[in-house]
């Protein structure tokens, strides 16, 4: 007998756009072809997830896999395994930390080739805006990059330069014509450099000193400057890893005035504060840094009111020695959080279980809104007929303590080690393929596809 479906996901609580229903989902050729109660079970495979919750596979718009050139830091293989273990079915890899940086068509295609061979889930790629590559922006856009990324402060690597105001202005004019989005790391470089120099000159290098060298006003100034340029150029902006409600408020006001601008924050800004940084040490160093408890709660307020568009991990791993060897000097330790594997569990634990925020809204933060912003919706980011069969299955009655052995990243360090989450990802399905299960780990050979968006 010919099988009608490739896969039926049976009995789950399905997180739809506006409601949660107990339904079966049928998949054929990687897409959702039927949804209903007690579907005919003439399928090659049946996955019974009775009692568990099925969300759209999360879309992480901000990761750093450092491939090619620094694969000893992570690489597509380890990084995508970590994403899959966390319920992520599509991620967007940033253009820096890899060697060479992704700033022209040659470097983009080389990175895409690596990802197509080694990624376990789907991926898209950011292109870079750096001084001197403005003539490469059109070719990058024509190859379907998800958007452009630039830094208003130093990046920490020599291969990807931060931009000056002229590059920002000219680049934004070109990106507007290309109908793409510019993502910005927004901190005022002159301000944070001078403050850091003063600290170093006095021999002050603790977690508190590092935080004080990158104050909220530095983020606000850079955000305000970028918004002014956006108003003049018509360029669409996306602000990455915003750490303060004050900065969110500036962006919200710009939205009200008609600017095409979105904002993300990260789970580590929602779960940890500056006291946690002082306790955990270099493993919790990032830029912008973790803020006060008041600021952490302010971000939750902004998120609850819908002023933050989505959540992204800013997964930025490195060899453990780049953290552990500099516990005495936070200015020298690598600034990046290894944590993309735990975004979904952290948000369900803290938003739904702790605060009662509906799973439908959490799904928008983690899947639907990034898909809409970057042109992947409705093919991705939701559970509906004709959409890609991308799912994260979560057991909401499975409490677990994160240990270093749980990490799929190449290097087992993370501020999430020692955290207890009151839920756990049990299955990840990418275009109908069962990529990860809790008890068996990664199931498939690398089959992730490069997602290109050409407008």
pLDDT digits (tens, 9 = 90+) for 265-324: 999 999 999 999 999 999 999 999 999 999 999 999 999 999 999 999 999 999 999 999
Average pLDDT over residues 401-424: 98
DSSP H/E element including 45 = strand 43-48
Average pLDDT over residues 3-13: 94
Rounded to the nearest integer, the mean pLDDT of the chain is: 97
Select from 217, 225, 204 the least CA-distant residue to 243. 217
pLDDT surpassing 70 at residue 2: no
Q: For residue 3, what pLDDT band results from cuts at 50, 70 and 90?
A: confident
pLDDT for residue 61? 98
The CATH T-level fold of domain 57-373 is TIM Barrel (3.20.20)
Q: Is 294 left (phi over 0), alpha (psi -120 to 50) or beta?
A: alpha
DSSP letter at 424 equals: E
What is the residue extent of each domain of the chain? Answer: 5-54+387-398+420-442, 57-373
Q: What angle do CA 341, 343, 348 make, to 5 degrees?
A: 130
Select from 417, 426, 374, 388 the least CA-distant residue to 62. 374
Q: For residue 221, what pLDDT band results from cuts at 50, 70 and 90?
A: very high
Q: Which of 239-243, 357-361, 391-395, 442-446 has the lowest mean pLDDT?
A: 442-446
pLDDT surpassing 90 at residue 77: yes
Q: For residue 1, what pLDDT band results from cuts at 50, 70 and 90?
A: low
Instruction: Give the C-alpha separation, 223 to 187, whole Å.
Output: 8
Asked whether the beta carbons of 314 and 266 are under 8 A apart, the reply is: yes
Distances (CA, A) of 58 to 101, 122, 183, 209, 323: 26, 11, 19, 35, 28
**Fold match between 5-54+387-398+420-442 and 57-373?**
no
pLDDT digits (tens, 9 = 90+) for 321-351: 999 999 999 999 999 999 999 999 999 999 9
User: Locate tokens 């007998």: which residue?
Assistant: 1
pLDDT surpassing 80 at residue 40: no
Q: For residue 38, what pLDDT band results from cuts at 50, 70 and 90?
A: confident
Asked whether the beta carbons of 414 and 338 are under 8 A apart, the reply is: yes
Asked whether the beta carbons of 293 and 273 are under 8 A apart, the reply is: yes
pLDDT for residue 142? 98
pLDDT for residue 97? 95
Select from 122, 90, 87, 92 the least CA-distant residue to 345. 87
List the strands of the sheet with 58-63, edge to edge.
58-63, 88-93, 122-128, 147-151, 181-185, 236-239, 261-265, 310-311
pLDDT digits (tens, 9 = 90+) for 54-74: 999 999 999 999 999 999 999
DSSP letter at 221 equals: H
pLDDT digits (tens, 9 = 90+) for 222-253: 999 999 999 999 999 999 999 999 999 999 99
Average pLDDT over residues 81-102: 98
Instruction: Give the C-alpha separation, 195 to 204, whole Å.
Output: 11
pLDDT digits (tens, 9 = 90+) for 136-195: 999 999 999 999 999 999 998 999 999 999 999 999 999 999 999 999 999 999 999 999
Length of the chain: 455
- 412: number of Cβ within 10 Å: 14
Asked whether the beta carbons of 137 and 102 are under 8 A apart, the reply is: no
DSSP notation for 294-312: HHHHHHHHHHHTT-S-EE-
Q: Which residues pair with 337 in a beta bridge?
A: 315
3-class state of residue 385 by DSSP: coil
Q: Which residues pair with 34 in a beta bridge?
A: 26
Average pLDDT over residues 252-258: 98
DSSP notation for 172-216: HHHHHHTT-EEEEE---HHHHHHHHHHHHHTT--SHHHHHHHS-H
Which three-class secondary structure string do you get for 245-268? HHHHHHHHHHHHCCCCEEEEECHH
DSSP letter at 452 equals: -
Distances (CA, A) of 387 to 19, 52, 85, 447, 454: 17, 21, 22, 18, 19
Asked whether the beta carbons of 453 and 417 are under 8 A apart, the reply is: no
Average pLDDT over residues 196-223: 98
- 5-54+387-398+420-442 CATH, one of 2.30.40.10, 3.40.50.1580, 2.20.25.10, 3.30.1300.10: 2.30.40.10
């Amino acid at each position: 007998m010919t099988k009608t479906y490739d896969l039926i996901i049976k009995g789950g609580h399905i997180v739809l756009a506006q409601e949660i229903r107990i339904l079966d989902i049928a998949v054929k050729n990687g897409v959702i072809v039927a949804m209903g109660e007690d579907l005919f079970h003439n399928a090659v495979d049946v996955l019974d997830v009775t009692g568990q919750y099925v969300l759209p596979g999360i879309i992480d718009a901000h990761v750093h896999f450092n491939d090619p050139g620094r694969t000893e830091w992570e690489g597509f293989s380890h990084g995508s395994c970590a994403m899959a273990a966390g319920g992520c079915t599509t991620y967007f890899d940033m253009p820096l930390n890899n060697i060479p940086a992704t700033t022209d068509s040659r470097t983009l295609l080389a990175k895409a080739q690596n990802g197509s061979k080694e990624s376990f889930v789907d991926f898209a790629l950011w292109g870079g805006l750096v001084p001197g590559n403005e003539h490469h922006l059109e070719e990058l856009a024509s190859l379907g990059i998800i958007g452009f990324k630039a830094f208003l402060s130093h990046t920490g690597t020599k291969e990807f330069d931060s931009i000056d105001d002229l590059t920002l202005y000219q680049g934004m004019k070109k990106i507007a014509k290309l109908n793409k989005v510019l993502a910005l790391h927004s901190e005022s470089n002159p301000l944070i450099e001078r403050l850091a120099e003063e600290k170093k000159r006095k021999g002050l290098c603790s977690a508190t000193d590092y935080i004080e060298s990158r104050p909220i006003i530095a983020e606000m100034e850079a955000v305000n400057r970028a918004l002014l340029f956006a108003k003049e150029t018509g360029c669409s902006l996306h602000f990455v890893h915003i750490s303060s409600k004050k900065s969110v408020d500036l962006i919200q006001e710009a939205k009200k005035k008609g600017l095409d601008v979105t904002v993300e924050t990260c789970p580590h800004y929602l779960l940890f504060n500056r006291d946690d940084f002082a306790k955990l040490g270099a493993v919790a160093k990032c830029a912008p840094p973790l803020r006060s408890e008041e600021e952490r709660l302010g971000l939750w307020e902004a998120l609850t009111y819908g002023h933050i568009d989505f959540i992204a991990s800013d997964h930025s791993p490195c060899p453990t020695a780049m953290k552990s060897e500099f516990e005495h000097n936070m200015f020298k330790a690598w600034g990046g959080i290894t944590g993309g594997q735990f975004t979904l569990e952290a948000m369900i634990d803290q938003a739904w279980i702790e605060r009662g925020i509906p799973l439908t809204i959490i799904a928008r933060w983690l899947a639907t809104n990034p898909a809409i912003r970057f042109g992947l919706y409705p093919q991705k980011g939701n559970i509906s007929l004709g959409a890609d069969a991308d799912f994260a299955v979560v057991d909401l009655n499975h409490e677990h303590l994160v240990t270093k052995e749980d990490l799929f990243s190449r290097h087992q360090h993370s501020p999430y080690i020692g955290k207890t989450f009151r839920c756990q990802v049990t299955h990840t399905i990418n275009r109908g393929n069962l990529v990860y299960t809790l008890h068996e780990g990664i199931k498939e050979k690398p089959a992730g596809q490069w997602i290109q968006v050409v407008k």
